[in-house]
């Protein structure tokens, strides 16, 4: 039936059929079978164990660089060199376990950001994810290397536009992809506390905003700039919805903590399983950014105005006001990683209360793919039903088909 309704309905069905299974995620020459990036979680939460497991399951596994030298014997006396050694060891160990795509997450605010990025590039890491600040000079560190791809983490189209222009003007380099994190993410957040609840900052608004911001730079470069959405992504349905919005992939972190392969202590993982709705709270981090963590006695004590005495091992984060800080963020996170939650806390995403069990990375990703396909089939059935109902209406009964 050659009618406007028929043509539009068929086009809708054809569009849905494109998404019947999760597509691969391509960043430069690196291709992951699934469009899932495991978010980097410091300190010591996502190391070679978790990253290699995710890469083997078809996603992009990510090692978090901040505080990565915590297992080195001289961590507190030779902080920066211990971190470099720790990063090199974890990249090599992860690569010995997988042939999949591996990345590192490095906070731009780290005092040794440039040294960590250089070490990761020298070790042949596939991707550098750089957030907690704008990595304005990252291509300069990359030099002539074309194996490692550079993916900034941003929280707005404006930030993506600034980076694209800066990199183009200064280095003739276009970002290889972007991660855009919404306000439901865990850990340090790219928003002011009062901005977290604003409708315009929801991830479903930010993804199209960043896509629009990078479009002219894609055209100039003659290649795509994939946009990866993160923050609050929990189910396969969430993945489907973001990809339909135009994202090339998603970043997920909270779900991967409650896996056997996660590098955190069992006690850390159990805090996720035991958490209830309302336990994820916004805290003021010593590094000058709001963060989301699971409420516990340590956080409540700090909120009450109590200072936790500490000796700063090094000024590891540029933005940390050591004199005014009520506690050392890295010492708190090290304690948490080792299961000593009385002396620290667990960063988390807003949906942490939905985590109900500890599983394996393979089972988790399998369930996400199943949920994704179920959503795709559901949308296909609904579209076909609308199409068939439309065919049953004819001009003879006086109803418009347009």
Cα–Cα distance for residue pair 21/103, rounded to 1 Å: 24
Share of the chain above pLDDT 70, in %: 87
4 or 70, which is more confident?
70
Which of 298-302, 386-390, 394-398 is predicted with the least confidence, judged by mean pLDDT? 394-398
For 101, list phi and psi in degrees, rounded to 5: -85, 130
Residue 287 pLDDT exceeds 80: no
Record the tokens describing residue 231, joined without a space: 């923050």
pTM recorded for the entire structure: 0.89
- The pLDDT value recorded for residue 303 is 84
Structural domains of the chain sorted by starting position, each given as residue range(s) with its CATH number in brackets? 19-263+358-378 (3.20.20.70), 270-343 (no CATH)
Q: How confident is the model at residue 195 (pLDDT cuts 50, 70, 90)?
A: confident
Here the tokens at position 184 are 């439901």
7 versus 228: the higher-pLDDT residue is 228
Count the Cβ atoms, other than its own, within 10 Å of residue 169: 9
pLDDT average, residue stretch 278-305: 87
Nearest 10 degrees: Cα torsion 215, 157, 203, 289: 150
Cβ neighbors of 290 (< 8 A, separation 6 or more) are: 188, 189, 191, 192, 193, 196, 282, 283, 284
Distance CA(329)–CA(185), nearest Å, equals: 18
pLDDT digits over 23-81, tens only? 999 999 999 999 999 999 988 899 999 999 999 999 999 999 988 888 888 877 887 88
pLDDT at 65: 92
pLDDT at 309: 53
With CA atoms as reference, report the closest residue to 300 among 326, 274, 321.
326
Distance separating the N- and C-terminal Cα atoms of the chain: 12
Q: What is the pLDDT of residues 115-147, one digit of tens each?
A: 999 999 999 999 999 988 899 999 999 988 989
């Amino acid at each position: 039936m050659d009618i406007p309704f028929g043509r539009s309905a068929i086009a809708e069905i054809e569009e849905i059929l494109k998404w019947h299974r999760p597509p691969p995620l391509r960043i430069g020459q690196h291709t992951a079978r699934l469009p899932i990036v495991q978010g980097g979680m410091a300190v010591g939460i996502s190391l070679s164990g978790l990253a290699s497991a995710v890469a083997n399951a078809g996603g992009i596994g990510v090692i978090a660089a901040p505080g990565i030298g915590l297992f080195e014997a001289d961590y507190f006396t030779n902080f920066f060199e211990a971190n470099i050694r720790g990063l090199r060891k974890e990249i090599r160990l992860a690569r010995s376990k997988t042939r999949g795509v591996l990345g590192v997450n490095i906070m731009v605010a780290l005092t040794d950001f440039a040294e960590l990025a250089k070490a990761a590039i020298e070790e042949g890491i596939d991707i550098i994810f750089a957030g907690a600040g704008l990595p304005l000079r990252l291509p300069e560190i990359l030099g002539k290397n074309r194996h490692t791809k550079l993916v900034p983490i941003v929280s707005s189209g404006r930030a993506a536009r600034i980076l694209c222009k800066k990199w183009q003007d200064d280095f003739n380099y276009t970002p290889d992809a972007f991660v855009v994190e919404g306000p439901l993410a865990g850990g340090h957040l790219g928003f002011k506390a009062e901005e977290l609840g604003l409708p315009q900052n929801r991830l479903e608004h930010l993804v199209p905003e960043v896509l629009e911001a990078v479009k002219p730079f894609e055209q100039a470069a003659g290649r795509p700039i994939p946009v990866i959405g993160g923050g609050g992504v929990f189910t396969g349905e969430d993945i489907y919805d973001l990809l339909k919005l135009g994202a090339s992939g998603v970043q997920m972190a909270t779900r991967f903590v409650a896996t056997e392969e996660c590098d955190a202590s069992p006690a850390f993982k159990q805090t996720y399983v035991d958490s209830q709705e309302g336990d994820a709270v916004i805290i003021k981090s010593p590094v000058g950014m709001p963060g989301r963590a699971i409420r516990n006695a340590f956080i409540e004590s700090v909120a009450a105005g109590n200072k936790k005495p500490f000796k700063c091992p090094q000024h590891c984060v540029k933005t940390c006001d050591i004199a005014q800080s009520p506690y050392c963020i890295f010492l708190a996170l090290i304690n948490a990683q080792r299961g000593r939650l009385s002396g620290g806390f667990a960063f988390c995403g807003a949906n942490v209360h939905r985590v109900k069990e500890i599983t394996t990375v393979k089972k988790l990703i399998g369930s996400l793919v199943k949920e994704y396909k179920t959503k795709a089939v559901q949308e296909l059935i609904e579209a076909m039903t609308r199409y068939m109902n439309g065919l049953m209406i004819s001009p003879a009964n006086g109803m418009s088909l347009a």
